[in-house]
Amino acid sequence: GDSVTQMEGPVTLSEEAFLTINCTYTATGYPSLFWYVQYPGEGLQLLLKATKADDKGSNKGFEATYRKETTSFHLEKGSVQVSDSAVYFCALSSKAAGNKLTFGGGTRVLVKP
Amino acid sequence: DVKVTQSSRYLVKRTGEKVFLECVQDMDHENMFWYRQDPGLGLRLIYFSYDVKMKEKGDIPEGYSVSREKKERFSLILESASTNQTSMYLCASSFYEKLFFGSGTQLSVL
């Protein structure tokens, strides 16, 4: 079945540091890929997505590129802020699985001033 | 903005009690989902529904049931709560592949 693996946290950074969160996936066919973010005390919200190979999703300074050859969708941000402290979830959706989302375990990111 | 509202932010129940978690969405979405969130395990799908009175089992349906009598409301039911059901429960509705989540209900079963 479909699965998503992402790096375990917590990841602790200083403000203005570079952030990378690794995500790899296993899926049948050609899934769509997503990053969701959960701020403290809130539900998840969509951060960015990519629907086909070599697509780049971007939002709020975050970027991720759909790499079919390495089955990866790593999240990056060049200069993080304290307000980026959150839990980040990588997810995929495939037609073979009825378009249901499969989530990774989540990565907690803490940005210190 | 899409709003997905979960009736309680925190709940404390006793083992064996019947528990109802309510979820309402205001965007006329057909698809609704219930997930549980546990540290290190991410989100796991319990049940989902593609239409009124329709339900499908997710990955971990054991010990749970659901009800969807109206399009905007999707209820999760724990028939006899157990301590291993202590968790954060998240409801979502979707438009195509984009999910909109509620703020979650932290359920503690003692």
The whole-chain average pLDDT of chain B stands at 93
Could you tell me the two tokens for B102? 């509620």
**Predicted local confidence at residue B46, as pLDDT:** 96
Residues of B with Cβ-Cβ distance to A32 under 8 angstroms: 97
**Predicted local confidence at residue A22, as pLDDT:** 97
Tally of CB atoms within 10 A around A75: 25
**Predicted local confidence at residue B53, as pLDDT:** 87
- For residue A95, which phi and psi values (nearest 5 degrees)? -65, -35
Residues of B with Cβ-Cβ distance to A41 under 8 angstroms: 103
Strand partners, A110: A12
- The C-alpha R_g of chain A, in whole angstroms, comes to 14
Asked whether the predicted pLDDT for residue A95 surpasses 80, the reply is no
Are A43 and B41 an interchain contact pair (Cβ–Cβ within 8 Å)?
A: no
**Predicted local confidence at residue B85, as pLDDT:** 97
Residues of B with CB under 8 A from a CB of A: 4, 33, 35, 37, 40-45, 48, 58, 90, 92, 97-104
Are B97 and A105 an interchain contact pair (Cβ–Cβ within 8 Å)?
A: no
Give the nearest chain A residue to B90 (CA atoms). A43
Residue of A52, A48, A50 lying closest to A30 (CA atoms): A52
Confidence band for A50, pLDDT divided at 50, 70 and 90: very high
Separation of alpha carbons B56 and B68, rounded Å: 11
**Predicted local confidence at residue A42, as pLDDT:** 86
Residues 39-58 of A with CB under 8 A from B: 41-46, 49
Distance from CA of A104 to the nearest CA of B (A): 6
SS3 for A22? coil
Which pairs with CB-CB distance under 8 Å and at least 24 residues apart come from B70-74?
Answer: B71/B28, B71/B30, B72/B24, B72/B25, B72/B26, B72/B28, B73/B22, B73/B23, B73/B24, B74/B23, B74/B25, B74/B32, B74/B33, B74/B34, B74/B49
The shortest CB-CB distance from A42 to any of B97, B100, B103 is to B103
Confidence band for A101, pLDDT divided at 50, 70 and 90: confident
B30, B93, B99, B105: best to mutate for the A interface, most A CBs within 10 A? B99
Tally of CB atoms within 10 A around A49: 20
**Predicted local confidence at residue B87, as pLDDT:** 97
Asked whether the predicted pLDDT for residue A98 surpasses 80, the reply is no
Model confidence over A13-44: pLDDT tens digits? Answer: 999 999 999 999 999 888 999 999 999 888 89
Are B45 and A101 an interchain contact pair (Cβ–Cβ within 8 Å)?
A: yes
Model confidence over B4-55: pLDDT tens digits? Answer: 999 899 999 999 999 999 999 999 999 999 999 998 788 999 999 998 988 9
Distance from CA of A107 to the nearest CA of B (A): 9
Tally of CB atoms within 10 A around B19: 19
Share of chain B above pLDDT 70, in %: 98
**Predicted local confidence at residue B73, as pLDDT:** 96
Residues of A with Cβ-Cβ distance to B1 under 8 angstroms: none
Asked whether the predicted pLDDT for residue B2 surpasses 80, the reply is no
**Predicted local confidence at residue B109, as pLDDT:** 97
Distance from CA of B85 to the nearest CA of A (A): 18
Concatenated DSSP letters of A42-106: S-EEEEEEE-STT-EEEETTEEEE-BTTTTB--EEESS--GGG-EEEEEEEE-GGGTT-EEE---
Asked whether the predicted pLDDT for residue A97 surpasses 90, the reply is no
